[in-house]
A and B are shown apart, each in its own frame.
Chain A
């Protein structure tokens, strides 16, 4: 058993004797501390002075050691009890328990063997992996509880002052902002936690597919050929069928685009609410929110949630929890349904109208407008401007593997707008002709960065070099409290098989999995810094990119 202990210098002599014992695989790390450290601490405690950092650390270690001592004693008593009924015990254990008590009582401050990875490379005994981990967690919890009680005891009149300090804080921050956690697939602890959570909610865990490029190994990478719905039993008792359908639509890319996904989500939730009945002895406001949680995890597994979907979910949860308890079920349900309808109407449909109104002012006759990919909002603006008989022509820029520009091209040409179609590699060739660039956004981050389809920041960069104004159109419900300065930390990896292309009967990259040094990267989003964006058109008006946090602040005050 690998063990490591922390010993104050005063006890070095005693521990030396223990170290020499052949069976006792213990490593002692000696702290070089000043004389009478323990006395110092007790003295300063009694004086009520603030402990210095070192002293606090020492105090913590002492407490840990004391707890370990207690644990060891408990363990020892348990194993001793175990010894009598069960004769077959692994040899290191009784040896350790026998030796430990001999070592323990001798020094006053008790060096306690701490189960940890030690530089002392002894063969690891077959001790159960869970036991040391569990005891560590238990000890941590105990220590935290101890610390809390100590802290509370230290402060005079702690409860009243605690409440007093809490109240003005809550007045200052009525809205507690909980930012979405970053995805961390390469951290096993996080993955384990996620797996446990999904197990609790009875949702299957989707496994990653293929080799991931090292810079993005912290993100999920799923294959479209293995949707999560295949792992569900039908009929699923946990997940509502419209949510299952929605999840399939997301993962297969049938419903794509920020607005489309949000609207589909809200419609699916409406169906869920219609089919919902409150179980007996439960309140609708609390139970419905709990019912929605596994659905959201499921949808997250099918395809990571977008910022707009996150905001919509936050709104629905708030509305549900605001339902008064004396409200009857039918009434509550109709109220929720009208809320959702109103949200869609206000934040998406009417916002699009307001944005078109502002944007049309910026389109003058003779303009050559460049658009990228397929943004429902930008297409809307262009169609409205064309109806108001503005004379302009459009250049649609497209990129592989999604080739969304073709959809935008189809919609614009149907209206009769004259369009040109190029791939993104021809961007610097076509830009001298362009007078304005209109871009859509997936989300607008709190530091003014624009998160949009991959390729957008490239377009903004080249347009800035050519001195062409870049306008971003975005509704306010897509404004997100996140802060990001690069495209690595939080992004989405699409199916790498999409990068395979079949030309003249030959499929390039067909066997890319067999080549060990080859990785395919199919990014979905990127972030554009605010210096490349000249103007953001929102339903509140035209604002510079640096004013996004101001709008967020104003919105929070309204809520």
Chain B
């Protein structure tokens, strides 16, 4: 049954490339909840859910899947406290799960609405790699009849930046692709930096595609604002102290983790940007400073 769920997850992602992976994960978990007949107790249900989440993480090792799964678990345990009877509990869970999904699918547009006012006319924006949220933000800014140019870093090893550039060109936004090494060179020309995030950690820092950290350091050195756009389901209960402290299972792609023996040979796919380099975070909960992220997390989890 677990393999079927992984298949379901993969089809979700394939059918709708726009859907965030966390949302797909939550949808899969909800589906599991609906299909699950074997669970007798709430504790058993939780066990099964935790195992499913682990399988999903094996399939797609991004931080978002992990955070989405944890949020769903948290949300389930809150519901299970209110209704001790299992079948009634399940019904309520499914109902609330659907509601939750509906709310978070709107989160991207909420973020875009908040952020596009920070883009002024004639602005030059620098972004990193390919992020669907940043795309949405730039889309809504363009729809607001603002004129701006975008620089995108190429973002090796998978050249995701080029895909971003194609998408932006389709929106008729003037875009230039720069090398990852040219970030310091281009920084004096740009007015602001906007990046997406794969995960937002408890300290207020972010985990994102490799290269984000040096982008942040450069922008701090040039005193350019560094904005992060992320939905609230990306908040994760990690607290890395430095680059080394980020758990291994997030650093590499899922296939690499399974196939390769010695991870020291592999190049990590993500890095950690500390909160001192971030100016503001735009989330569907509002515009937050990095120290407010912890406040929100305490409200969610404590």
Contact = CB atoms under 8 A, between A and B. Distances in A.
Q: Is B one of A's binding partners?
A: yes
B289 to A, nearest CB: 9
Sorting the interface of chain B by its residue count into under 10, 10 to 19, 20 to 34 or 35 or more gives 10 to 19
Chain A, interface size category, equals 10 to 19
B294 A546 contact: yes
Contact of B239 (A364, A535, A550): A535
A540 B299 CA distance: 12
A489 interface: no
Given A535-B203, A535-B239, A554-B302, A543 B294 contact: yes
Nearest to B296: A550
B171 to A, nearest CB: 37
Given A544-B202, A544-B204, A550 B295 contact: yes
A547 B242 CA distance: 20
A544 B241 contact: no
Interface string A433-455: 00010000000000000000000
A469 B298 contact: no
Interface string A517-559: 0000000000000010011000011111011001100100000
B239 A547 contact: no
B120 to A, nearest CB: 29
Contact of A554 (B241, B291, B298): B298
Given A535-B203, A541-B302, A544-B202, A436 B241 contact: yes
Q: Is the interface of B mostly helix, strand, loop or mixed?
A: helix
A436 B204 CA distance: 20
Interface in A448-484: 469, 471
The list of the 10 closest CB pairs from A to B, nearest first, reads: A546-B291, A469-B241, A547-B294, A542-B239, A550-B295, A544-B203, A544-B294, A550-B298, A543-B294, A534-B241
Contacts of A534: 203, 241
A551 B294 CA distance: 10
A415 interface: no
A362 interface: yes
B81 to A, nearest CB: 17
Interface in B251-292: 275-276, 291
B242 A469 contact: yes
> Which of B202, B239, B301, B302 is most buried by chain A, counting CB atoms within 10 A of its CB?
B239
A362 B302 contact: no
B18 interface: no
Interface in A340-359: none
A547 B245 contact: no
Contacts of A544: 202-204, 275, 291, 294
B241 A362 contact: yes
A543 B202 contact: yes
Nearest to B241: A469
B291 A547 contact: yes
From B204, B276, B298, residue with most partner A Cβ within 10 Å: B298
B275 A551 contact: no
A265 to B, nearest CB: 29
